[in-house]
Every structure is written in C-alpha cells, then in structure tokens.
Amino acid sequence: MPTTFLDPFQLPPSSHRKTASALIEADRAQFLRIADALRAQREETEARLLTARQTHAGTGSTAVDRDLEIRRLSSRLRLLDRFGLDLCLGRMTPSDGSPPLYIGRSGLAADDGTRLLIDWRTPAAEPYFAATMEDPRGISSRRRYRWSDGRISDYWDEALTEDGFGDPDALDDQSSFIASLGSDRSSRMRDVLSTIQSDQDAIIRTPSPGALVVDGGPGTGKTVVALHRAAHLLYAEPRLTHGGGGMLLVGPNAQYLSYVEDVLPSLGEDSVRLSTLRDLVPEGHDAVSETDPRVARLKEALDPGALIEAATSASEQPPQRALRLESPWADLWLSSEEWAEAFSAPDPSSTHNAARDEVWEELLEMLTDQIHDEDVPPHAVRRWLRQDEELTGTFVRAWPLLSPTAIVRRLWSDSEFLGRCAPALTAAEIALLHREADTAWTDADLPLLDAAHRRIGDPEATRAEHRRQAVIASAQEQMSHVVDHLIEDDDSEMKVMSILKGQDARNVLIGVDTPPVSAPDELAGPFAHIVVDEAQELSDAEWRMLLARCPSRSLTVVGDRAQARHGFTESWVERLERIGLRDVRIAHLGVNYRTPSEVMAVAAPGIRAAIPDANVPASVRDSGIPVRVTTASALSEILAEWLSTHTQGIACVIGDSSFAPTPRVRSLTPAGAKGLEFDLVMLVRPEQFGDGVTGAVDRYVAMTRATQELVILR
C-alpha cells in the first residue's frame, strides 16, 4: 500500500516562482518513489533485526557475526527513523541528457532495483560536490535543497555549463552554502552535508594513509571537513572498522563534543568514538589546571614513556640469590639464572601487572618440572607452591603489583627516585617538580598518567582476574571430583558417562557459572584512524598519548597555527615530524565562509600584529551589521534587546565568568569557545586577556566565533 504522501515542498511566499510545476514536478515524483522505498526498507530492516536478535548467539565467529549484523541493522534503522525524505540532499543533471541523479545521506533502491538515491560517499556522487564551472565533471547543473522539519523550505539550481541555464526562477546568485550561513545557530552543529564545497570535498575524499593536516583559519570549515572525512573514510575503507580498530575523534573540550556529536550519525556513521584528551585518562575528569607555567613547560618537555619505563623497571628486578624450597616431595631450587630467565619471559607488549602473572606462571612451571614422581599431580604441586610464603614473599618483593597513580605520585614526591628515573633533570628542576603525594592532579600530569596506565595496567583489573581464575580453578577441581565419581559409578552397558572424560565437555560444564571478563577500556585503542581537532594546542607529550593509540599513524590533523594560545612558530611538518610522524600532507583552506567581513576587519589586525605569518582567511559574506564597541555596563541591556528581536539563535558572553548562562546564552572563556560558533558574541573587556601571543590569540578566537554580530564591551 503506497505511503500517504505529504507535498515535500513548503516554500515561503517570497519564493512562489520556484513552485512552478515545470520546476518541481519531477522532484515530487521522485520523492514519492523515495517515500515508498523508505517505508518498505524500514519494515524489512525491523523484521531482519528482530530475526537476528531472536537467533541463538552461538560461540566464536558465529556470535561475532550475529553481533555485527545486529549493530549494522540497528545503525541503519536509526538512520531511517531519523530521516524521511530529507535523506535526499540534492540532485545533479548529467550533461549527456540522462535523467537527474539524486544524492542521499545513504544509498536507496526501489524493489525493482532502480537506484533512487546515490550514497554521498560513493565516487558516483563526487561530481555533485566537486563540480565547478571551470570543471563541471560531466554535469550541467545541480540542485541543493534546504530542509526544515522534513520539508523543503528552499532550493537552488546552480548552472555549471551553458546548457545548465534553465528556468531563471530557480537560479540564485548564492549557493545554498552561502545562504545557510545567514541562518541562526543552534546548540549543535547544523546539518551541513549539502553545503560541502569543491575544495572541501577534495580533502574529504583523500585516502587515509599517513597524516593529513587540514590547515585553515576561522570559519573555513575545518571541523566540517574533518567530520565528513571521518564518515567518508569509514565508508570507503572498510578495513578501518572490520578488524582494523575503528576511529577516534578528539576535540578540545566537552562543549565541542556536545556541539558536533550529532553530525556523524546524520552522515550514516555512529561507530566513531568521541573524546577529549582528559577523557583518555581516568584522572582527567577531576584534574585541575597547572597554575605554574614553569612546571607545565617542564612536564611537557619530559618523555612520559621513557620516565615511566625507568620507574617501572625498577620494580622488575630478579633476585640475585638462589632460592631453596622444601616441598613435601623434594627440595626445589631456583637459581639466580633461572630467576632472570623467568623475568625475561613475558611478552614485551604486556603491561607490568599482566607480565607479573606471566612471570609467576613461568616460575611455577620451572618448579613443577622438578617433581618427577608420576603419582604427584601437577595441580597439587602448583597449589602447594602458591601457598608457600617464602616463594610468594620473594616474588612479591621482586615484582610487586603496581598502581599507575602511585608510581606517578612517587615520582613527584620522592626527589631521589625522580632523580634516578630522570637523570637529565637538574637539581633545580627536580625541586620545582616536587610536591606532596596527596596533591591534586593537574592537566600537565595527564600524559604521564596515561603512559603509566599503558605501561603498568590496572591493578584492580588484575586482582579481579585473579579472583576469576580462582573461581574457575575451584570449579574445575570440584567438577573433576564429580566427573570422576560419575564415571566410577557408571554401571551402564555403554558406559555413557565416559564422554565426560573429554576436556570440551568439562569446559562446557564449568563455563556456565564462570565470572565475566572485565570490560576493556574503549578509549585505550588501538584505533585505525584518529581525527584531532584544534590540534595546534597539543604539546609533544599530549601527541604521544594519541600516537600510542594509533600504531598505523593514520590521522586527520585539524588546526590553525594562528589560534595556538602558546605560539606555534614552526611549520606543521616540523611539529609532526618531531613527534614521529613522517608521511605528512598539508591541505590549506583559505576562504572564511562563517565570519562576516565586518568582524574579520576588526579581528585580523590584532592577530597579524602578534603573528605576522598568520593564515587569516578572506570572508566571502557581509552581515550588514557593524561591530559595536560600548561599555561593559550595557551587557544586560544589549542581550535583552537581542533576545526580544531574535526568537532563534544562540548568543555567547566571552570573558565574564560571573555571567550566569541561560538556554540561549552561553558563558565561556576564549579557550572554551574554540571550535564553536554563535549568532551574537559579547566580548567583555578583551584587554584582560593580556599582551603577547596568548592574549592576541584569545581575542582573535573570541571575535571570530560570531556568525552575525560582534559587540565589544570595554
């Protein structure tokens, strides 16, 4: 039964010429087919998802395949529930006279196989985004839709060849991208897929290997490009998700993540992990800012991995003397050479605490092999060894269970220990780093804490695994007694109980009540690709946190050297090569689509004075609203007036920590506003940010958050 069809076109009276049947009748027919296909596909997806969930999970690869299918179908259903006809972005008309091709957030086909929507990420859809009048890519025109509440509120036809100039009523001297910039901001990034420009599209479709730097000033669409490149890579390179590790997107702050979190699902991808640097470390949530810039610089200059390695290795020293144990069966020996051999047995990639278990098992194996009495079962020997106080005490002293936080606290509170682990530090530097053990963590500690967690491991997880193994061992022993008893008492002719001798049967019986394995840290990696926004702010130590999670060294690096609060005097290539990246490519964006020219005229001189080679983009739009300069006492009055005359949109007060935010008015610092945009920006006492590069960058960042109006309050 066909879907009840609501006319998708709801254009305002000012656009009545665009409602002519000759212009939109073909679209109406196409949208009717799309609506029917969406209904059918939604019903089919719901049925398949229900069947998959009702299917027995099984084990091994069967369970994995079932879970992957459920995840894929659930993701598809969320997209279908989220969008209706607005799954369609626009259409392009081939120059050869073929029917128009419609572009969608995902692909869609009718029951007979007719392609109704081409997925925006496919090569077939590339001309829609990349075509220009200089290079029309085989199309004569394209149409872009603006959707509001599931219906088309406007559309634009862009002629790319002489043949593309059809009815002038549909043509517009502004693309939908430029027009959309005049709309009100919201608390989340608006849907911008249909506004991608050709220079941005070329970056989005760049393959993943190596590090791609997307360099551009305010308003050039860096974040838009980064998010769309993430979605495109996940579609075009399935290896990134199918066993490859997936993708991580790292933003500068929680406000940024909240702002962009809705974009990737709208592009058909919901598997990307979103995080800030603080989120990567358990202690990051409560860490405070480092108040002493000398301490911050000194910690940033340290190599976290090398320092933690030195501190941890000090707790992995094999005994230098032989150990003699008097067991009930024979005297057992561990020579100093055997201690050293056991201590070198673990996999180099194992954490300290995980390697500790490997060493312990190696020692037990060495000692058990010394018992040659066949009547003595190995598990009895191992049980006795685990209870021997001399053996366990010696081992615990030689390879203790460590806590990552305890090691870092000891480095800062024990100057002698820090000096041994970091011999290059001077006495004055060690004294500067010294602090009491109970001092709160700072953001400058996070790279070192991250290195400690990765090298040492979670002691609580290790203890939980020990308890889990103890439960399994106890169950195995009890099951062995039960099975032996059942076999012994089996007087049946076929001796059916003998099947229980098989290890597989025993494992099945034991596994019923086996405690679950601890859930892994989803942000620990490894990831196949990492997207880093506002990357100009990262220190070398923070970069190491990310590279430890990305062995492929495949990254999208997004930033602007002119927005680095602490300066960025080197090139991107120099910065990234210093931290170990070699295959570095640079893509520049130089057109400011967001910030009005009136605002840029005020913002540009200050940043150019502080950073002469700053990449200050050229604005392509005017707001018609001059920048106002007034007194700070006028803040409330101006805001009240703006809110009364603007029923939509978001304002932001930057620089007044005492201002209480409301649902439509934010209150942020310049650093907290990075990556965000607002219709109105109220910049309070910009001189308070200080002189030098940091002050100039803070003022520049604050001013360029405005998409419509900037008011400076002195």
Is the residue at 280 inside a domain? no
pLDDT digit string, tens, across residues 217-238: 998 888 888 888 988 898 888 8
pLDDT value for 11: 92
**Residue 101 in contact with residue 92, Cβ under 8 Å?**
yes
Task: Give yes or no: residues 373 and 301 share one domain.
Answer: yes
User: Is 432 part of a structural domain of the chain?
Assistant: yes
What pLDDT shows up at residue 631?
Answer: 95
3-state secondary structure at position 629? strand
Residue 451 sits in the same domain as residue 472: no
Q: Are 676 and 593 in contact (CB under 8 A)?
A: no
Residues 385 and 299 in one domain: yes
At 26-61, the pLDDT tens digits run 999 999 999 999 999 999 999 999 988 888 766 656
* pLDDT score for 64: 66
pLDDT score recorded for residue 457: 92
pLDDT of residue 393: 96
| Token couple for 517 | 């394995």
Please report the DSSP string for 18-50 in residue order: GG-HHHHHHHHHHHHHHHHHHHHHHHHHHHHHH
Instruction: Please indicate if the annotation marks 45 as binding a ligand.
Output: no
Backbone dihedral angles phi then psi of residue 309, each to the nearest 5 degrees: -60, -45
Instruction: Count the domains in the chain.
Output: 5
Q: Which residues 6+ apart lie within 8 Å of 341 measured at CB? A: 362
- Last residue of some domain: 451, 481, 509? 509
Q: Is residue 515 part of a domain?
A: no
In a domain, 592, yes or no: no
Count Cα neighbours of 576 within 13 Å in the Cβ-side half-sphere.
26
Tokens of 382: 């191992």
What pLDDT, on the 0 to 100 scale, is given for residue 379? 84
Which DSSP symbol is given to 288? B
For residue 392, being part of any structural domain is answered with yes
Q: What pLDDT digit, counting tens, does each position of 143-195 carry? A: 989 888 889 998 988 888 876 655 555 554 444 444 445 555 555 444 455 56
Are the CB atoms for 702 and 673 separated by under 8 Å? yes
Nearest Cα to Cα of residue 237 among 524, 580, 559, 556: 556
Tell me the C-alpha to C-alpha distance, in Å, between residue 168 and each of 18, 23, 30, 98, 566.
9, 10, 22, 21, 52
Residues 261 and 394 grouped into a single domain: no
Whether residues 581 and 551 share a domain: the answer is yes
Cβ–Cβ < 8 Å for 102, 30: yes
Q: What is the pLDDT of residue 520?
A: 67
Range of the domain at 654: 597-713
- For 569, list phi and psi in degrees, rounded to 5: -85, -20
Please tell me whether 223 is known to bind a ligand: yes
pTM over 0.85: no
Backbone angles phi, psi at 710, to 5 degrees: -125, 130
Both structure tokens of 222 = 């860096």
Whether residue 688 lies inside any domain: the answer is yes
Q: Do 428 and 334 fall into the same domain?
A: yes
Give me the CATH number covering residue 247: 3.40.50.300
pLDDT digits 0-9 by tens, 330-389: 999 999 999 999 999 999 889 999 999 999 999 999 999 999 888 888 888 998 999 999
Strand-by-strand arrangement of the 108-109 sheet: 108-109, 115-119, 101-104, 88-94, 139-148, 151-159
Contact 295, 376 (CB under 8 A): no
Do 560 and 480 share a domain, yes or no?
no
Q: Which residues of the chain have pLDDT under 70?
A: 1-4, 57-61, 64, 163-195, 242-244, 268, 462-520
Q: Are residues 451 and 324 in the same domain?
A: yes
Q: Give me the chain's average pLDDT, please.
A: 86
Whether residue 217 is annotated as binding a ligand: the answer is: yes
Distance (Å, whole) CA 81 – CA 79? 5
On whether 18 is known to bind a ligand per the annotation, the reply is no
**pLDDT, position 249:** 94
How far out from the chain centre does Cα 195 lie? 24
To the question of whether residue 182 is assigned a binding role by annotation, the answer is: no
221 is in an annotated binding site: yes
| Residue partners of 360: CB distance under 8 A and separation at least 6 | 395
- Supply the pLDDT for residue 2: 47
10 belongs to a structural domain: no
User: Are 417 and 319 contained in the same domain?
Assistant: yes
321 with 249, same domain: the answer is no
Which of 127, 153, 181 is the last residue before a domain boundary? 181
Domain boundary residue, one of 444, 459, 474: 459
Residue-wise pLDDT tens digits, 120-150: 999 999 999 888 888 899 999 999 898 888 8
663 is in an annotated binding site: no
Are 177 and 62 found together in one domain?
yes
Q: Does the residue 288 lie in any domain?
A: no
Is 649 marked within a binding site?
A: no
Residues 58 and 104 in one domain: yes
